[in-house]
Chain A
Amino acid sequence: MIDVQHLTKKYPGGVTAVQDVSFSVAPGEVVGFLGPNGAGKSTTMRILAGYLSPTGGEVKVNGMDVTRNSLEVRERIGYLPETCPLYPDMRVREYLRYRADLKGLSRRHRSAGIERAMEQCGLVDVQKRLIGQLSKGYRQRVGIADSLVHNPDLLILDEPTIGLDPNQIMQVRKLIQDLSSSHTLLISSHILSEIEASCSRVIVMNRGQILESATIEELSKKWSPGSAIVVEVKADHADVDAALRVLPDLKRIKVVQEGEWARAELGFKSDDDQRENVFSCIQEQEWSLRELHAKHHSLEEAFVSMTTEATDA
C-alpha cells in the first residue's frame, strides 16, 4: 500500500526534517508512527498526502508515485492534518458534501458516502449544526468523517486524539478500531498508549530517522528485556528481601512494607518465566501469599529507553 524508499526532506535554511527514511505498509495493516515532537512524522505524512514534495527518494502509494501521480494518489487517500482545520461557517453535512464534491464523488455515491461517514463517526445528530459551534471532539470526528467520505483505501491520521478529553479519546480510539477492519491506517502520535491501543505495528521516528519498525510485543521485548514479577506476602520486608535475593538470574529487587504485607518487585535478566521459582521460594518460607503476577512491559518503557538511548548516542 505504502512504499517509501530513502525519503529525504530538507527545508530551505538547511533544516533536514526527514533523512533517508524507508518503510512500507501492507494493505490492511494498522501502523503507528511514534516519535517525540519534531521527529519528522508530520512531514512524512504531508509528503504521503501530496501536500509537500520530497527532496529525495521515492514515495509510492498503491504503486503510484506521490509526486508524478499526485491527483490519483490523493483520490485514494483520506488525510487528517494534525490541527484538523475545518470551515467554521459551514454545517457538518454541508461541509461533508463540499468535500465529497471536491473528491469527485458522483451524485449517487455522494449521499451514500456522507451517510456512511456520518454514521461511522457518530455525527448524524449534529449534521445540521455549524462546525464552529461544535466541541473539539466533534470537530475531530468531522475531520475523520471527511477523510472517510470517499471511502479511500488508505487513511492517514496525524495525531487524531490530540487535545481531546479522556472520553473523547476513547471514542476516537473506538472509531479507529472500527475503521481498522476495512482500511489501511497510518496513525501518528507522540503519546505511546495511543499507538499501543490502536496499532499492530509501530514505526518509531526520532530526529528525522527511523529507529525501529516492529510489532508492539517485539519492541517492548527488545528495548526492555528481561521478565518482571510482582509478589505480595505476609512477612517482614527484610526477610523477604533476604529470601528472594538468592533466586538465580535475578537482576534487581525492590521490597516495600505495606502494613503486615511486603510487596516485592523482581526483575530478571532473561525472558524465562520465573513465577514457579518465586512461588517455591515463598512456599519454603511458609508465608501467606496474596498476589503473584508477571508484569508486561509497556511500550512507554520501550519508548523512553529507545529515545534516551538515541539522544545519548
Chain B
Amino acid sequence: MPAEPLLEVKDLHVSFRTEDGIVRAVDGVSFTVGEGEVVGIVGESGSGKSVTMMSVMRLIADPNVMYTGEIIYKGRNLMGLSRDAMRGVRGEEISMIFQDPMTSLNPVYNIGWQIEEQLNEHYTLRKGQARQRAVELLRQVGIPNAEQRVDNYPHEFSGGMRQRVMIALALSCNPDLLIADEPTTALDVTIQAQILELIKDLKRDFGSAVALITHDLGVVADIADRILVMYAGRIVEEGNKEQIFYDPQHPYTWGLLGSIARLDRPRPRRLTAIAGQPPSMLNRPRGCAFRPRCPQAFDRCSAEDPPLTEKVGEGHLDACLLSVEDKRARRDATINPELAETA
C-alpha cells in the first residue's frame, strides 16, 4: 500500500432510528481506497454497501441517521467538515454515479444544463466555456453528435445513453474518487458490458480511483483491483482480485461465486443459490451474522463474533472461524458442486 491512501474509512457505523428500533445498516466497516485504485464492493441487497459509500459523500438525507467513525479523505475527516466545505468535496473531488439512470437526471432540464450547473458550481468559467466542456465530456463518454445532443432532455435518451450522461456529469470536475453505485444493474447485459468498458477506459484517462458497488461478482471480476465482500453491514472478506476469485476464504464469498454463470466451466444442472434471507439489521444475532445461512456453521459460530483478520496472504482478510485447511477442503462443494462430484 502506498504511503497515504486516498480514502480511509475507519470503523464506520451508520444506523437509522426507526419505529421498530435502531437499524444498524453499517456496523463497523474499515477499508481504504488508494489513488487510482479500483475497489469493488460486493454484497447482496441490504448488506450496507450503498449506505457505506453514501456516507462517504454524506448524502444520506434521512433525519434519523446516526454516524460514528471516521472518513479520512486526503488527510481530512469528512465527518467533521462543515456543510459548505462538504459541498466543495462533492462533485469536485468525489462524485457518484447512481443505479437507475432513468430517474437520476432531472427531467425538466436538458443534459447540457445539468453538466454546466456542476461545472459552474466548482469553477469560475467564462460564458460558453462550460458548454464547450459539457460537449467535450459527452463526446468522451461516447455520445454521438454531442454538439446537438447537449440540448436534449433526459427522456430523449435510452437508458444506456443516460448512464453515459451520468458518467459525464460525474467526471466533469475530474474527481479523484468516483463512486459507482450499481451503475449497470438497471441496464441490459450488452449495455452493461459497454458501460463497464467505458468506466475502465475513463478510469485510465482521468486517473480517478473508483469504488464500484455491485451485487454481481462477475461485474468486478474484470475491472477491480481489490474486492470487499460485505454481509449484514460488515466486511466479511477483503483481498485483491486473484485472492478473492482463486482462494476465497469466506463461505459467503463461496456462495456469491457459486451463483455466477461461468462459461469456462462445465455447465451445472442449475446455479446454486445462497439459501435464506439476510438477517434483520434491527437486532444482530450474536456470533457470525451469516451463521443461519451457512452450511459450514459449527458451535463456535454462534458464540463468537469472528474478527476480520489476515490469515492466508498479505492483504487478504476474512471473518470466518473455520481453519484455512477446512475452508480449502470444503469450498469447491459450494462454488462448483459438479466439479466436486467429478473430482
Tell me, yes or no, whether A binds B.
Answer: no
Binding site for A on B (CB under 8 A): none
Binding site for B on A (CB under 8 A): none
